[in-house]
Amino acid sequence: MILFDTTSASSWKHASGLARVSRRLLEELGPAARVAQWPVVPAQAGANDWILTPELFSEAERPGLTAFLEKRPFRIAAIYHDAIPIKHPLITWPKSVERHPAYMKLLASFDRVWAVSHASREELLRFWKWQGVPSHPPVEVIPLGADWPHFPRARGGAGNPSPVLKIVTTGILEPRKNQGVLLDACESLRREGLEVELHLVGRVNPHFGGPIEKRIKALSATWPGLRHHKEMGDAGLAALLRSATVTAFPSIAEGCGLPLLESLWMGIPCVCSDIAAVAENAAGGGCLVVRGNAADGWAEALRQVATDKALHARLVSEAAERELPTWAGAAAVLRGALT
């Protein structure tokens, strides 16, 4: 049996990547998994059962966790996402920065760990080596799903044929997501005379998102095609994506880059940054990678997508034809290992 940890996820209302991973894995695990929350007591499972957590945690947040790992009344596995709070502490939620080193050390006491990308796996192994961790569990890679529930995969003809360059980017407004470079590039294209529509979908980071939100509001006064959607359900987002020319993901740090995969599922090609985790998923096709992730590179890439119809058609075809991972496939990997 798999006890699936929803200690934090049970109260989440937002649609972050962590929330997406938790909800979709639990859905696809089906009867093989049972919801559990900390503290998990031995009476809930036997010695051959597993706890699986896709969450972030620390001893301070879950008192008794360290002792639990030492006694190990049953086995425990984790989905590991990234080391962003350690690598970018000045632009990451303070609570996450405080928690993360201890969280990553605790993972070394688990029985199994799955990382959400090869890049993520390597950074976890490097962290343990840096910390002098004497032993640790095997770390494998589990490809996250591109599929959306109730939305079949687009297999051709997707993408906006309009002369307007319609761009959609999803993600919380904050420095890490780097929406500023996208605004810079779009402003440059508009000065050239290109008609550009930019939709930013995501809530505002209360610690760091204020400046970018303020800039969007200022620009929208003279740019009617600039729109910020703070909240949008799957149906609305799916419709918006399928009307887009291209999606854009200029992030400077990711564990996986799940929105890129979800865009490809909808048949919409992507322009993306060249960071390792994102480039890893872009390599299969349907994507244009911006080397250096600078504004001039972004302007050039988006200009190509807008003006080179053959390029856009090729990217759309690649997005529709490439093999994409599914949540059912991810759940099958976990079921095979933990049951």
Sign of CA dihedral 235, 82, 203, 292: negative
Alpha helices in 221-338 (DSSP H): 234-242, 258-265, 276-282, 295-307, 309-321, 327-338
d(CA 333, CA 337): 6
The CATH superfamily assigned to 165-321 is Glycogen Phosphorylase B; (3.40.50.2000)
pLDDT, residue 190, reads 97
Residue with structure tokens 């119809």?
A: 309
Confidence of residue 84 (pLDDT cuts 50, 70, 90): very high
pLDDT, residue 73, reads 85
Domain 2-145+326-338 has CATH 3.40.50.2000: yes
Kindly report which listed range (34-43, 181-190, 194-203, 257-266) carries the lowest average pLDDT score.
34-43
Contact 265/148 with Cβ under 8 angstroms? yes
pLDDT, residue 290, reads 97
pLDDT, residue 117, reads 97
Span(s) in the chain for CATH 3.40.50.2000: 2-145+326-338, 165-321
Q: Is the pLDDT of residue 146 over 90?
A: yes
pLDDT, residue 310, reads 95
d(CA 184, CA 298): 9
pLDDT, residue 41, reads 67
Contact 320/156 with Cβ under 8 angstroms? yes
Q: Is the pLDDT of residue 303 over 60?
A: yes
Name 228's bridge partners.
200
Max CA-CA distance within the chain?
Answer: 68
Identify the burial level of 257 via C-beta atoms within 10 angstroms of its C-beta, where 0-12 means exposed, 13-18 middle and 19 or more buried: buried
Confidence of residue 15 (pLDDT cuts 50, 70, 90): confident
Contact 250/290 with Cβ under 8 angstroms? yes
**What rounded mean pLDDT belongs to the chain?**
93
User: For 221-255, how does the pLDDT look when each residue is reduced to its tens digit (9 = 90+)?
Assistant: 999 999 999 989 999 999 999 999 999 999 999 99
pLDDT, residue 42, reads 62
Confidence of residue 44 (pLDDT cuts 50, 70, 90): confident
Compute the chain's Rg from CA coordinates: 21
